[in-house]
Amino acid sequence: MNIFLSHVLAGLCLLLSAPLAAQDLMGMLEQDEEEQPEYAVNTFFTTRVINGQSIENPYPGDLIFIISHHFGRLNQGAYELWGLDQATIRLGLEYGVSDRLAVSVGRSSYEKTFDGFIKYKLLRQQSGVRNVPVALSLFSGAYLKSLKWPEGSDFEFRHRMSYVQQAMIARQFSRQVSLQLTPAWVHHNLVPTTDDPADYFVLGMGGRWRFSDWAGISLEYFYRFQEPESYDTYNSFAVGVDLDTGGHVFQLHFTNSQPMFESGFLSDTRGDFLDGDIYFGFHITRTFTLR
């Protein structure tokens, strides 16, 4: 009888302790869920806002192939089919080394320019156990102009080079609205005259309004704090539509910048948007998963 009572008491203890153990387990799981950071994702559709870089990187092991194309100026009229008879192109590859580091190489027909850059994601916007209100990426690019020198010139290889350093500071305010500030420094080893600056400081502002799961409108503007003396240039402006089809991202846009690499459109935009010097263009982005 004593053995029977002891078994009954043991069973009652197990039944009473089970809900408490379950509550403890649920409490631990809820605590773990609360401690997990919630990162902002898809702040922009791809690695470009329009012409300029966004804070987005390729995923680790992903290779992004970007085909960029700018037609001629719209104000050239019907004879040039409003610029469609002309073209400037850039082909680029971007690779995600890690979840923070990306590298890229590219080549543009504009002044036959080769480019390469690295981009590092220093901060990720997150909420939860740690609140980080913005994302921050750092960018360093080098550009090689491979046009032939004029006959009889004594230029050196270093005169072909230009460099860009910039930071991208972005915040996703909601699933629909994202904004980014991009302070940048541009340096040219060779300038047309001694009166022209070799260094430019630029502040970029860009944003995206996502009006559906697969489409959005983007705006972008770069203000230069220095201007060349020997020729006219303008601040770069662009407006466009982003379309995400799943396998590709199409970015259709209008801009006053003909070059599609950073040292070009940041400091050498020759078109006046208000005067009709507008280039219609697009980026086609295709991602290949390598590992």
Q: What is the pLDDT of residue 8?
A: 40
CB-count exposure of residue 173 (10 Å: 0-12, 13-18, 19+): exposed
Distance from C-alpha of 260 to C-alpha of 251, rounded to nearest angstrom = 13
Q: What is the pLDDT of residue 17?
A: 47
Q: What is the pLDDT of residue 7?
A: 47
**Number of residues that make up the chain:** 291
Q: What is the pLDDT of residue 127?
A: 85
Given a cut of 70, the residues of the chain with pLDDT beneath it are 1-35
Q: What is the pLDDT of residue 105?
A: 97
Q: What is the pLDDT of residue 26?
A: 55
Distance from C-alpha of 221 to C-alpha of 273, rounded to nearest angstrom = 12
265: closest CA among 220, 230, 208?
Answer: 220
Distance from C-alpha of 146 to C-alpha of 149, rounded to nearest angstrom = 9
Give 162-194 pLDDT, tens digit per residue.
999 999 999 999 999 999 999 999 999 999 998
Distances (CA, A) of 183 to 52, 103, 136, 205, 225: 11, 20, 12, 9, 11
Q: What is the pLDDT of residue 151?
A: 81
Q: What is the pLDDT of residue 266?
A: 96
Residues whose CB falls within 8 Å of the CB of residue 11, separated by 6 or more in sequence, listed in order? none
Distance from C-alpha of 163 to C-alpha of 145, rounded to nearest angstrom = 11
